[in-house]
Structure 1
């Protein structure tokens, strides 16, 4: 679902792309990556009659200005710039994958501005080493006959066309319906804005250093914002990685959607809309 494109200024002079659509409770989305772009238009469409959905491209990504610096703290500050630009005092946050972690970090830093948090297909707060090997096994298994091509492309310097092909193959592993996976991955990569690999490497290294720390768990234990964890049962990232986050949060509910992978709103749109809509309306904890 599309709205009017807007340019959000940050205090250090960067310009971020953003848009909003719908009517009702303000919800601000945080897309996955890091280094990718907003692909949550379908989420906005599902929630259009329930919420005003604000979407944005993170710094250096998609339609936003391609400039650093890249860090979680910088991304949190940029998200706050989006909040101020749209005149929101409090907002619900909906983050997907890496964006779920970013939304959580924002809630930890600015709980006064967050009414609720929808944590979609994130990876919890334990060290990523606890689940990464399982994820890699599942990724390779889902790639199936495309594994050799994906590995070949991954080992060499790629043209832009090859970069898109490599990403589409990797994206395809994220869907439960293997017969439609490539088609759905093509849709996710259209329009194509390219991957910011510098952003990806820099922020992922920071997340690796900070995940699994006692400080992060303690901060989650102090967070009294209501949180809904949503996860597809067939996501190649193991759902048990979310147990530590669920155990740490004092106000949390959790929904697992059968028949869905990493993008549950694509494969189980009715279940996703029902779970998220009820949560935003206050019909679940």
Structure 2
């Protein structure tokens, strides 16, 4: 079912489409390019697809499918917000686009979503691209160094961020708060890049964020998850930014567990490496995708 949301890219115009889930939630989605089918899973939880520039980088080697998760961005703002529902929604996207097999690419929390789907449905996944994730150990193992790195990267912006964090915020202040926080995710020009992330602005779904993060604490880092990763035969590319404030050693738990994995660390790049090092990102991911044809 088509809807009226044109999205301009560098060379084409994508027409947004509507994926309807089995419980009636309408998910925004779009696709562009030619080649191996790739489905992108955005981070958060509670954010929205910010991968227009990534799609432009890859559209000559892949058909890139983007979507907003339920409750996020241009999709219906309705729960429930659970891991099982997120996985079912991703399956609805695959079925809507008629993909027998796909490469899954996930960023940050979306990398966890892509990984979990690949573990559950290896027959539908020809490859996994795990971008700026945090591995499969509990979050507590890396949270403290992440917070120290965040404060150091924020520098003089930290006081204003802390002021906004500690009180109720207007919509404009909500956007300012997020831009300030996201600015720490870049090695250079953080505020400029974070403004790009927030444009257009759809508002963060904090209810979704809280619900799924609470479930993460109960299910992530288990011995069962490690065992499932050791048995996973899906070819995987891990892509990191060297200067991501989330410590890169946290990803070792996943890299050490997967039997078919390669890893690329991009120098002088942060949490969104395709933004700061687009040519290097395109080369690394493009090489991986050409082997999935």
Is 1:105 the counterpart of 2:116? The answer is: yes
Within a 5 Å distance, the mapping from 1:208-247 to structure 2 comes to: 208-247=217-256
Q: CA RMSD in A?
A: 0.8
Gaps of 5+ in 1: none
Count residues with an aligned counterpart. 281
Within a 5 Å distance, the mapping from 1:144-163 to structure 2 comes to: 144-163=155-174
Moved over 4 A (4+): none
1:174-194 Cα distance to aligned partner (Å, 9 max, x none)? 0001xx110110011000000
1:81 to 78, 92, 102: 92
Q: C-alpha distance in 1, partners of 2:84/2:129?
A: 20
* Shift, 1:212, TM fit: 1.3
Is 1:36 the counterpart of 2:47? The answer is: yes
Residue in 2 that maps onto 1:95: 106
- Provide the secondary structure at the position in 1 that maps to 2:27: strand
Report which stretch shifted further, 266-275 or 202-211.
Answer: 202-211
Q: C-alpha distance in 2, partners of 1:245/1:208?
A: 17
* Shift, 1:140, TM fit: 0.9
Is 1:51 the counterpart of 2:62? The answer is: yes
Gaps of 5+ in 2: 1-8
Residue in 2 that maps onto 1:190: 199
1:100-135 Cα distance to aligned partner (Å, 9 max, x none)? 000001001111100000000000000100000011
Residue in 1 that maps onto 2:289: 280
Q: C-alpha distance in 2, partners of 1:115/1:38?
A: 22
* Shift, 1:80, TM fit: 0.4
Q: C-alpha distance in 1, partners of 2:92/2:60?
A: 25
Q: C-alpha distance in 2, partners of 1:256/1:87?
A: 33
Residue in 1 that maps onto 2:38: 27
2:280 to 254, 271, 274: 271
- Provide the secondary structure at the position in 2 that maps to 1:16: strand
* Shift, 1:211, TM fit: 1.6
- Provide the secondary structure at the position in 1 that maps to 2:113: helix
* Shift, 1:210, TM fit: 1.3
